[in-house]
Homo-oligomer: A and B are copies of this chain.
Amino acid sequence: MLFDLDGTLLDSVYQHVLAWKEALASAGIDLSIWRIHRRIGMSGGLFLRALVRETGRELTTAEADQLRERHETGYRSRLGEVRPLPGAQDLLQVLTNAGVPWAIATSGSQATAGASLEVLDLPPEVPVITRDHVAYAKPNPDLFLAAAEALGRPITESFVVGDSVWDMLASQRAHALGIGVLSGGYGREELETAGAYRVYEDPRDLLAHIDELGIRMQL
């Protein structure tokens, strides 16, 4: 089971949204907040490229790097508000107890993800794949492919759990089965349209319906 991080295990999407809003505003780039929200979870490079196209404003590499840094600083300053989503830790514990291998795959950088992961208090042996490990982040399949490889399991027998259409698209490209959660603020129909095999409210709701995925727990 391959998990996205922000919006899937952590209630952190809105903090990322506002950190980007702040970073862009400080560079004089005015973008509606919903447009930022709809891009959280995709590769930062693609995010900035889409931005250039939409606003018609060119960005130098130095400017793009500065925006990324400002986003990271802004997100870190909000980390105190970030909490695990309901059921996240229970779900992971149940999977561990049942012998279901799981990993985390996030479009975020090692630095940002590392800070977030402390909130989750994970066992140190869990594979965590960040954009520093692969050539391309989501919606390219690389992150999930690397996560399955780290577990030594075929991607075609893996579930990808994520809150954004970028997770579902990457899951399709990786030939995994996508499971959507609503906890990042996308709608059910958006996730289904992007290929979600099932959609749950949040990790707690997924855990309550885990039998629907054919995952067998010890009774």
Pick the contact of A185: B34, B182, B189 (CB < 8 A).
Answer: B34
A190 on the B face (CB < 8 A): yes
What is the CA–CA distance of A81 and B32 in the complex, to the nearest angstrom?
11
What is the CA–CA distance of A175 and B137 in the complex, to the nearest angstrom?
46
Residues of B within 8 A of A186 (CB): 187
Residues of B within 8 A of A202 (CB): 32
Segment 152-192 of A: residues with Cβ below 8 Å from B:
182-190
Residue of B nearest to A7 (CB): B34
A13 on the B face (CB < 8 A): yes
What is the CA–CA distance of A14 and B166 in the complex, to the nearest angstrom?
21
Q: Tell me the dominant secondary structure on chain A's binding face.
A: helix
- Copies of this chain in its oligomeric complex: 2
Residue of B nearest to A192 (CB): B189
Residue of B nearest to A34 (CB): B185
Residues of B within 8 A of A21 (CB): 81
The number of residues on chain A lying at the interface, defined by a beta carbon within 8 Å of a beta carbon of chain B, is 27
Check B34 against A182 for contact (C-beta < 8 Å). Answer: yes
A33 on the B face (CB < 8 A): yes
What is the CA–CA distance of A184 and B182 in the complex, to the nearest angstrom?
16
Segment 30-70 of A: residues with Cβ below 8 Å from B:
30, 32-34, 37
Check A32 against B85 for contact (C-beta < 8 Å). Answer: yes
Q: How far does the Cβ of A36 sit from chain B's closest Cβ, in whole Å? A: 9
A62-96 Cβ-contact flags toward B at 8 Å (1 or 0):
00000000000000000001010110000000000
Residues of B within 8 A of A7 (CB): 34
Pick the contact of A14: B17, B81, B85, B183 (CB < 8 A).
Answer: B17
Check A34 against B189 for contact (C-beta < 8 Å). Answer: no
Residue of B nearest to A12 (CB): B33
A18 on the B face (CB < 8 A): yes
List A residues at the B interface (Cβ < 8 Å): 7, 11, 13-14, 17-18, 21, 30, 32-34, 37, 81, 83, 85-86, 182-190, 193, 202
6 additional contacts (CB under 8 A) given A11-B33, A13-B33 = A18-B18, A34-B182, A34-B184, A37-B185, A186-B187, A190-B190
